[in-house]
Structure 1
Amino acid sequence: MRLRTAVSQLLCAVLLGALALVAAPAAGATAAPAQTPLRGGTMLFSPSGRCMVAFNATNGTRHYGIMAGHCGAVGTQWYADRGLTVPVGVTEAAVFPGQDYALVRFTNPDYTYPSEIAAGAQVIRINRAANPVVGQSACRTGPTTGTHCGTVQGVNVTITYPQGTVSGLFRTSICAEPGDSGGSAFGGDAGLGLLVGGSGNCTSGGTTYYQPLVPVLSAHGLRVGY
């Protein structure tokens, strides 16, 4: 998904790992088939393109992946593979403009959906969501340029797109490049937001803009850190 260009401004997390110990089955017992974790940072595929899951969340009963709002209309079917043979979820909500996010309800029981982000070979545990604060350190990860860090430069930023206005974004000094769109922004173990656009590159530097995570969770009764 290409980074989008705004009319007035060009748009566009400290890593923690976690190990889980699983008890061996008792003698004579048959082990259940292993489930595959589908984390934030995973690319999913649809008939019309691909998008990255920024964060996983739950309402206590179902699990959801949070993506950028341009990632397909309600009802879009998502797959784990480019060949579109392994369905994993369907878009249940999509908001753009106004805000910029979509919710994919996961449906495949062969996967687990932990509150984690895959950042290359590292796994980042997300224990909470937080509102970004000007001056704080933050990082983001994406498939094109990997993980980069910087500082939050502004909050409650409004951007005008050709399609309409998006409000409540936050701006950082973190670089990004085409293909990084939808990536997770975080500070320590706190999820901050998802990348919706940017300018510049990771050679000369740039500016990036993010949909905050907290309002998305609040609007839909979701939580991270489960």
Structure 2
Amino acid sequence: MLAGTTESFGENRDIWLAKTGPQPHISISTSFHNFGGVAVGDSATFIVTLTNTGTAPLTISEIVSSAPYYTDFEDPVSLEPDFSRDINVTFRPDTSGLFRDTIIIYSNGLEGPVLVVLWGGGSLEISEEANFLPINFDLQCYPNPFNPTTTISFDLNHPGMVKLNVFDVTGRLVSTLVDDNMIAGEHRVIFDGAGLGSGIYFARMEAGSQIMTRKMALIR
């Protein structure tokens, strides 16, 4: 019985050692990007940086996207530890409207496929009357409580300047998530509380003359 137990432990140890040896890890510079409004027939591009933060070679085998979002990724790429590769992501709308999509990045990293959520709008003509309408919106956080990330979503009834900040209970600014002109429609941003202590935080959004605050709980 003792010999059998020792053999079983040895097998488990070998498996454990194999899993804790050199491994590739993929890190991305952002998991969300909002292109804002882009004129139909025109295009806008931003860069996603992929980094191997592991200890073994990382192979990026495929990046899946769909129109009107395009990438310049063609062939599999191998990255040594601590090396990076920039991928150009282009939004090229051929019709007006709001476009939401996700590009999927496949690799041999332990994290499995990683996602980048994309938002963009083919520009629409907006009447002068509409520009004077108040910007109404709804602000939500999910999950809440969270650890360490939560998705903050908001829905605008028409385009306008938006500011979205996160504060702690003392009123100290923790993070500025949005400070830009945004198109009408639903938007989502990720708040990452890594490096912050457990406690209560507040997401405060300003859009036009409207202000809304949501309480969030970071629980570790």
Whether TM-score is above 0.5 comes out as no
Please state which band the TM-score falls in when normalised by the shorter chain: under 0.3
Q: Which has the higher strand share?
A: 2
Q: Which has the higher helix share?
A: 2
Alignment TM-score, normalising by the size of structure 2: 0.27
For the pair shown, which has the larger CA radius of gyration, 1 or 2? 2
Alignment TM-score, normalising by the size of structure 1: 0.27
Instruction: Tell me: higher relative CO, structure 1 or 2? Use CA pairs within 8 A at least 6 residues apart.
Output: 1
